[in-house]
Amino acid sequence: MLTSYNIGVMKLSKKYLHDKSILLLLTSNLMLALLSVALIFLRLNNGRAGIYIVQRRANLGIDQYTQGGISTMIGFLLFTLLIIVGGFLISYKSFNDQKHVSIGVLCFSLLLIICTIVVSNSLLAMH
């Protein structure tokens, strides 16, 4: 019984990884995630003091900037990795039942990675 289950998983993974749209979205997600990680690491290692602007609230007046340490900026990296892993797992599990849901999940994870790149770069540029 266990061997038949393993054969079914192998067939699903072959179908999943041979689909051109899935492969394109997975590749673009990974490339943008690597770009995000590289941009954040390059901006963090500029020899600065280690105090970064992590929030900007326009309605607070003079105190519109909230400062934080490097651990807050590392949170952007962890969020990007969480998006990649979570998007892949949800997409892989839903591929057998509905292919369009799987593609939608990967598209939304791509959008989240783009938003992460924009927000992290804008916060690091204000430093």
Question: What's the half-sphere exposure (Cβ side, CA atoms, 13 Å) at 121?
Answer: 11
- Specify the pLDDT at position 91: 94
Give residues with Cβ within 8 angstroms of 31, minimum separation 6.
none
Terminal alpha carbon distance of the chain: 59
Low-confidence ranges of the chain (pLDDT < 70): 1-13, 45-51, 53-56, 60-63, 127
- Specify the pLDDT at position 13: 67
Q: Which amino acid, one-letter code, is at 6?
A: N
- Specify the pLDDT at position 46: 60
- Specify the pLDDT at position 45: 63
- Specify the pLDDT at position 102: 94
Give the model confidence (pLDDT) of 51-84 as tens digits: 676 666 777 666 677 777 777 778 889 999 999 9
- Specify the pLDDT at position 48: 59
The domain locations on the chain are 2-125
